[in-house]
Structure 1
């Protein structure tokens, strides 16, 4: 009950913040920046990015400090100032984006972010709505004939940004489950592709478009593999999900007995940094390259299922946000939300006074 109460209170304050800080103020800034030309577009992009970042930090702070989410990181680190990069990941849960955002914001907080995903993601309350409002979500219909032009337009806009950025995408196109695995294996068999038991056959066109259009700006491609403790349910879906993180409170997971570890939300993330000049530019070679990356994911996940390990050494056993980022995601976001609230309140009062004055003047004339 305590976890449910905490989750509901968190969602209410997040709704408040999203409306007054990330929607009202962002809309006003974007409207004002339209009159400033190219410089105004850059300011608008920065404001939208920072508003989204504050909301992301707010969500991550709650997930870690209240819900007890733990992230174990392996492989390569993201270095701040190393340039822009593309992140490709397997897709197991709605929680995947939150986990990867934590990893990237922790290590490179100053970069612009973009997510490439299904149009339905924009309908997710709060976070999906925020991503659409700030332009961070490049939403696709999963029909390439319709998506190609929109994706090229958004990537060209991203390529012109003055600062570094990262783009996150899930080439599988959907979350893993036993039903989707059967469809994926059938597709692999018909197209003479390798079949996987722990990931789905990746879709190639979106990845290739990103490599083609952003190649001049990209420094690296990060191959991210996500694995959750707790196994999968009878449908093959990860037992760790958004509801368990945001509505079940966990205390001191690192002090738990081994038999209790499955109760705590623990995610393992393996990052593999690949220089962009190692990514083939030709279509067929690039397709083979992507399949090779997913073969590595398949082996990592299978290894974890068999012996519960990924690597002899982890970079961070409990990757957490520093105090400055927690401060931004709580107090700074609330201060900005209050400013937006008072602007809204003042506007409503002034509008009411104007209507009242206009009505009185009309009666006097009559």
Structure 2
């Protein structure tokens, strides 16, 4: 029964979360108390290992408790010690579980840019903080117009996060649309893409500015749900028949590293043109994945 399956999966996830997050927070506390930087850095593998173990339990549940078929194709060469910028389209909370299923222990732990409000999610908010996930304000244009100083806060947060990431293997994750796709949002934007919202280039530009020379590649991920966009309970209840994923490995564009996206209009236009080109190709990929038999 889907309801019974959902309840069992939820119970296992809840127990696994507590069993992993409590020791993770203890290690994070120890890390904060240690006096020497090299000792604090030595705690990172323990924190990452606990996070990857938690994800591993979720992936095991995917295998044993759902009939969801995951079909992945692409040309990427994945390295556990790599430094990646990961870009993806965003349709559902299921996207995060898909990305973790595809990449866990194959590339460094995915670090997401999170809305600041998510810090208050019980247990998980503290875990994300302990793992150095950057929390962003994501202010609206109206808020920035009223208080221009807000515009620099997310940039500063990005730079602080990237400074930490330079010292460790990392996969910085960015949902470039900035929000989950819906038909209503697509229509209100007047998006020129069939299956995507307009990309927001600023976050990508700031990461490339702060880390560009230290990144190995961009992993451009396209996620498709042929049976329709699911909610998280749909996956947990076994109601998602198939997920299709395409991974493209892209070189870091050397001419777009180190530019001043905020103040250099010509650079900003050039960067947005590149991002729009990536998004047009992604739209074609998503269309092909949805139509494939």
Q: Same fold (TM over 0.5)?
A: yes
Asked if structure 1 preserves the Cα contact closer than 8 Å seen for 2:89 and 2:196, the reply is yes
Partner of 2:216: 219
Q: Secondary structure at the match of 1:202?
A: coil
Match of 1:228 among 225, 228, 234: 225
1:248-300 CA distances to partner (integer Å, 9 max, x unpaired)?
1x4xxxxxxxxxxxx43421111111111466334332221111111112122
* 1:62–1:290 CA distance, 2 compared to 1 (3 A): same
Alignment of 1:156 onto 2:184: no
Q: 2 CA distance for matches of 1:125 and 1:63?
A: 23
Shift of 1:303: 2.9
Q: 1 CA distance for matches of 2:126 and 2:226?
A: 29
* 1:65–1:27 CA distance, 2 compared to 1 (3 A): same
Aligned residues: 271
Output the TM-score relative to the length of structure 2.
0.83
Asked if structure 2 preserves the Cα contact closer than 8 Å seen for 1:95 and 1:242, the reply is yes
* 1:128–1:180 CA distance, 2 compared to 1 (3 A): farther
Partner of 1:57: 56
- Note the residue ranges of structure 1 that are not aligned, 5 or more in a row: 189-194, 232-237, 251-262, 310-366
Partner of 1:345: none
Shift of 1:173: 0.5
Please show how residues 1-366 of structure 1 align to structure 2 within 5 Å: 1-23=3-25, 25-32=26-33, 34-35=34-35, 37-80=36-79, 83-108=82-107, 111-135=108-132, 137-143=133-139, 144-159=151-166, 161=167, 163-185=168-190, 195-231=192-228, 238=229, 240-246=230-236, 248=237, 250=238, 263-277=239-253, 280-281=256-257, 282-305=267-290, 307-309=291-293
Shift of 1:82: 6.9
- Note the residue ranges of structure 2 that are not aligned, 5 or more in a row: 140-150, 258-266
Q: 2 CA distance for matches of 1:70 and 1:124?
A: 30
Q: 1 CA distance for matches of 2:185 and 2:100?
A: 25
Q: CA RMSD of the aligned region, Å? A: 2.3
Output the TM-score relative to the length of structure 1.
0.68
* 1:176–1:84 CA distance, 2 compared to 1 (3 A): same
* 1:3–1:171 CA distance, 2 compared to 1 (3 A): same
Q: 1 CA distance for matches of 2:219 and 2:10?
A: 35
Higher relative contact order (Cα pairs below 8 Å, separated by 6+ residues): 1
